[in-house]
Amino acid sequence: MSRADSTPHRDDRRNMDWFVDKAVQILVFVAGISAIVFIIGIFVFITKEGVGFIFKSHYALSESVFNLLEEKKMPDTQLDALTPLEGKAFKTSQDLILAVEGVIGVEETRPYKELLVARSLDQPFSLKTFFTSPKWAPTSELKPTYGALALMAGTASVTGLAMLIAIPFSLGAAIYIGEFATGRTRELLKILVELLAAIPSVVWGFIGLSIMNPLIIKVFNVPIGLNVLNAGLILGLMAAPIMTTIAEDALKAVPDRYREAAEAMGATRWQVIFKVVVPASKNGLVAAILLGVGRGFGETMAVLMATGHSINLPTSIFDSVRALTATIAAELGEAAVGSDHYQALFTLGIFLFLVTFLINMTADLVLRGIRKE
């Protein structure tokens, strides 16, 4: 841009270029904070849809209310008449009493009114059930239950097995690539690992479904090949390339003078690696493992297709399980917007978000540990 449009005052630099510069500065700043906006946005929107459910309450004739009515000597005929109302949710206690009156009559209801108002408050969702009950039955006609224990066990078993496979192999591969391989071999291996990381998760799921499934049935002679073993293997292969890359970066960050000093003392290559390089890059390796765990925990399509998707507390690696992420993916399509089921799925989402947030933060803190040293 020319100087022609500058003001006559020599010292006043606020010409067109100056304004453009300021405008750009504001624009890129807005883009810069977009990541913060989005991460807050994600939290706000999934919380908005899901958190109401955590505190939601309604009035219903639950099993405990029936027991109380029985203690209060309600005749069996009336109790039987009320059975169809069991578990049905009402907005206010007044609605519930009206419904009860409709079934057994106004006069007959009177002696139990107080009890109904006091004890019929029921929460469809309770944190205790969520963390301790293995029963995930959101579409149950009688009493929907939202226990995520089996789903957590599913996710944990699959991620655990995946890490059992991925940690030694990715660290081994990282050490080979970083410390042993040289020149072309090294470049080639790095490129291969990078390409492995690019395979989409739905393709991995398809591999689990169509290649691993018959293979596992044949090799281990089990009835179902879609199980913890299948998903764990798939997830291990998926997470390993990323872990390898991060671990190799961590090894590379160890200054060469450490290695040279050790070699000067007469240490052999593997002594250098195990006594010097690995301890020095410990934090980076831990971060690599943590990020791998986070990745396994959040993986959706592959675990949806390869776990067998049946609610189970697994007792062996040949049990089919169901993961947290897969549950959302499988059920969100059929849950009516705003329904209890729909909100319960968003509650699962909040849980997933918080756990991955925690894992990522920890990994970052661990990584920052090395930078400080």
Partner 1 sequence: MFEASELNIRNRKIESLFRILFLLMAGLLILPVAIILAILTYKGSSVISMNFLFTSPTEGMTAGGIFPALIGTIWLVSVALLFSVPLGVAAAIYLSEYARDNWFTRIINLAIINLAGVPSIVHALFGVGAFVLFFRFGTCILAASLTLGIMTLPVVIVSTWNALQAVPMAFREACWNMGATKWQTIRKIVLPNSISGILTGIILMVSQTAGETAPIMFTGAAFFLPQLPQSVFDQTMAMSLHLFVLATQVPGVPEDVPYGVAFVLIALVLVMNSLSIAFRVYLRGRKKW
> In this chain, which of 29, 91, 92, 94 binds partner 1, going by CB under 8 A?
29
Closest approach of partner 1 to the CB of residue 116, in Å = 36
What DSSP character marks residue 321? B
336 binds partner 1 (CB under 8 A): no
308 binds partner 1 (CB under 8 A): no
In the complex with partner 1, the residue whose CB is nearer, 112 or 204, is 204
210 binds partner 1 (CB under 8 A): yes
Site for partner 1 in 120-149 (CB under 8 A): none
Site for partner 1 in 259-278 (CB under 8 A): 268-271, 273
150 binds partner 1 (CB under 8 A): no
Please report which helix (H) or strand (E) contains residue 122, including its range: strand 121-122
Closest approach of partner 1 to the CB of residue 251, in Å = 12
294 binds partner 1 (CB under 8 A): yes
Q: Please name the amino acid found at residue 86.
A: E
Query: CA-to-CA distance for 110 and 117, rounded, in angstroms?
Result: 11
310 binds partner 1 (CB under 8 A): no
The residue range among 36-44, 74-82, 131-139, 250-258 that interacts with partner 1, by the rule CB under 8 A, is 36-44
Q: What angle do CA 130, 135, 140 make, to 5 degrees?
A: 105
266 is written with which tokens? 């007469």
Four-CA torsion 65, 67, 68, 72, nearest 10 degrees: 140
> In this chain, which of 225, 241, 284, 292 binds partner 1, going by CB under 8 A?
241
Closest approach of partner 1 to the CB of residue 217, in Å = 16
In the complex with partner 1, the residue whose CB is nearer, 82 or 207, is 207
Quick one: which of 346, 348, 355, 303 has its CA closest to 149? 348
Query: CA-to-CA distance for 231 and 43, rounded, in angstroms?
Result: 28
357 binds partner 1 (CB under 8 A): yes
DSSP assignment of 216-267 equals HHHHH--S---SHHHHHHHHHHHHHHHHHHHHHHHHHTS-HHHHHHHHHTT-
In the complex with partner 1, the residue whose CB is nearer, 162 or 173, is 173
In the complex with partner 1, the residue whose CB is nearer, 49 or 319, is 49
Site for partner 1 in 155-174 (CB under 8 A): 168-170, 172-173
Query: CA-to-CA distance for 291 and 297, rounded, in angstroms?
Result: 10
Closest approach of partner 1 to the CB of residue 99, in Å = 32
307 is written with which tokens? 């776990």
User: How many Cβ atoms sit within 10 Å of the Cβ of residue 44?
Assistant: 11
305 binds partner 1 (CB under 8 A): yes
The residue range among 32-40, 98-106, 254-262, 310-318 that interacts with partner 1, by the rule CB under 8 A, is 32-40
Site for partner 1 in 215-234 (CB under 8 A): none
8 A C-beta contact, residue 204 and residue 237: yes
